[in-house]
Amino acid sequence: MVITKRLLGDIEAQLGGALPGRIAVAPMGVDTTNFTRNFPYEPWTGEGPAKIFSCGRLNPSKGHKDLLAAVRLLTDSGIDARLVIAGEDELGGTGYRLELERLIAELDLAGRVSLLGAVSEGVIRTGLEDAHVFALASHAEPLGVAIMEAMSLSVPVVVTGAGGVPELVQDQHSGLLVRTNNPAHLAAALARVLNTPDLAGQLGTEGRRRVANRFDSTRGAGILAQLIRGV
């Protein structure tokens, strides 16, 4: 069982005839009954800070530097952007986090960017429900459970279309896909969502529908159960 069609294609190219006779695509999922909002999503109105939430380990592959650069661009354009990143580096905060902290200082983003470190699911839920938009600038993402969680909570997502993400996020419909290693493109997409409340609400609604219909955790469990019964 593999989590995306893209990954299945890669496996078939590498293993060919060595694959088992039965193999299925069963995406990772989230419990959409648990990841449901406690209050309706409200887009940014232009008043107060524009709240951006991101979630992912602090590692170069997650593209946090691109996201910080995008926040700088948003700020320079007149948007009062505030970014919260949940996640820690592999060394418990003594590794890549220090490099990001230096960049935050260099970009004069102190007070605009918060690095939460390793936090509980409850803290992530609260951060998502408080956010106007979710962003992830990964250079390669197999699928993206963090993205699913944001979508399940009806938060509009702006994410890079790297790896298997396009199988989750339908560009312009259930989220916006941007190019990797391109802070300007990321900033423009974030500004579009923030400055267009109707679009933000539509993306959030369709994102929730997409995850509930295709990426609920019970769906993957059902596919696995079918495979087991067939053995």
HSE-CB for 111 with a 13 A CA cutoff:
4
Secondary structure (3-state) at 31: coil
Residue 113 falls inside a structural domain = yes
Residue 12 falls inside a structural domain = no
Secondary structure (3-state) at 102: helix
6 confidence band (pLDDT: 50, 70, 90):
low
Looking at the predicted structure, is the pLDDT value of residue 34 above 80? yes
Residue 6 falls inside a structural domain = no
> Mean pLDDT, to the nearest integer, of 88-101?
97
pLDDT in tens, 152-188: 999 999 999 988 899 999 999 999 999 999 999 999 9
Residue 1 falls inside a structural domain = no
Rounded distance between C-alpha atoms, residue 124 and residue 120, angstroms: 7
For residue 216, what are the contacts with CB-CB under 8 A and spacing of at least 6?
29, 30, 31, 32
pLDDT in tens, 124-155: 999 999 999 999 999 988 889 999 999 999 99
Residue 223 falls inside a structural domain = no
Secondary structure (3-state) at 109: coil
Instruction: Please answer whether residues 124 and 87 qualify as being in contact, where contact means their C-beta atoms are separated by less than 8 angstroms.
Output: no
8 confidence band (pLDDT: 50, 70, 90):
very low
Q: Which domain holds residue 88?
A: 30-215
Q: What CATH number has the domain bearing residue 203?
A: 3.40.50.2000
Residue 164 falls inside a structural domain = yes
Q: Which residues sit opposite 22 in a β-bridge?
A: none
Q: How far is CA 95 from CA 35, 59, 102, 109, 119, in A?
A: 31, 9, 12, 20, 17
Residue 40 falls inside a structural domain = yes
Looking at the predicted structure, is the pLDDT value of residue 105 above 60? yes
Residue 24 falls inside a structural domain = no
What is the reported pLDDT for 7? 46
Total domains in the chain come to 1
